Structure 1
Amino acid sequence: MKKVVVIDDERAGRDLIKEYLQDYPELIVLGEANNGVDAVKIIREFQPDLVFLDIQMPGLTGFEVLQKLTEIPQVIFSTAYDEYALKAFEVHAVDYLLKPYTKERFAKAVHRIKKDNEINNINSLADSLLQDQQKYPDQVLVNKNKKLVTLKVKDILWVEAYGDYSKIHSQNDVFVSNNGISTMEERLSPDLFLRVHRSSLINFKQIKTAEKYGKGYVLKMNNDSMVRVSRGYVEELKKLIF
């Protein structure tokens, strides 16, 4: 559902928009105004997702209304003046309906709203994925012979609890980290690492074999080390089985 406000200084203009909107039950008209001053008030009150906005109105123009707002909703201009079209798109209007317009033209404007929303959703998803990628490192610094060396995360086979610390197992080395196993789980990407025991975290792309062992499993990693999967974590492992 999207909240809608209709702003037009002519009743006929407002009524036409509301009539056309009856074909779109997901767009709910919460209020209307016939001048710029009331438009600002009603937009602030209802915080709509979409505003159908006239341009030439008593009090304030449609553009001046937008300047008064801290958060601007999606806007479809509905006006009898064609000279403002360029300016309308400069303020990122979804569409510009030039009166008189048909029901078909109105439908195209509504379709643009949906398309605009889809693009925004895709952009939001992309931003979210980018943030996740930035959250989890591709490589880490580990202690080796009193020096810090880089280790690619994909080369970590598994992580083992070591008291309040952790042991990081790679193909040929074992490194001790000051971080506990729970902290390691938080800092390593869930797209790569899986908790299989209260004391173990594995890189599931580094599993060589998995064998049933009682109510759990035993995993052989690519360096031939063996890691037990306790029964409390079996269901997570089963998600990897096809």
Structure 2
Amino acid sequence: MKKVIIVDDEKAGRKLIKEYLSNFPALILLGEANNGVDAVKMINEFKPDLVFLDIQMPGLTGFDVLKHLEELPQIIFSTAYDQYALKAFEVHAVDYLLKPYTQERFKVAVEKVTSNIADNKAKELTNSLLMDAEKYPQKILVQAKNKLVTISVKDIIRIEAYGDYSKIITEEKTFISNYGISQLEQKLDEAIFLRVHRSSIINIDKIEELNKYGKSYDVTMQNKDIVRVSRGYMETIKKLMY
């Protein structure tokens, strides 16, 4: 028995996959998602063996979804866009179903899941995405009330320690991240995000001015927040001065 999740922003696409799945009693449908953000949450919660994954979706693309997963299931892409086929196989997807596809074509893809080839591809996918994870993300998922939302990293003004969590301050809103500030520091580009205090990280692109008071500095950000630079990080901030 294999647990399955369907991710497609079109209702018709999800309906077709469910119809074709009914011919495979060994594949148990756990749930559906119609956008990338909900897909990440559902896949991380239910840990399916197989995901039918669309590519062009609101919030996160199918490829973005893969980078946010705690564990990587077997992936069959299901999409109306043929230009992503090469990239799909670069991340070692089991198969790439180009809409509209027939029941027979669907059967060919599913049969790959039960083969040793599919198991090997899943391991290759894991290794490939672990390597991709070393690159700095352009978007991150953060908590907003009872749901996860995506924010662009470039929109972050500063990050503030918040107990075991972190506050991420953007121009429009403040979000809570489940990561501590040191964990976020490791995930963000150090050329842009500068640790200036054990409780503060700033986006140097969002600095308005730097003020010196004796031997100390305060940084005024574009949203008028003032961030103190602690003595231990003084040399770091001085590297920005020319």
TM-score, normalisation: structure 2:
0.48
TM-score, normalisation: structure 1:
0.48
**Largest Rg, 1 or 2:** 1
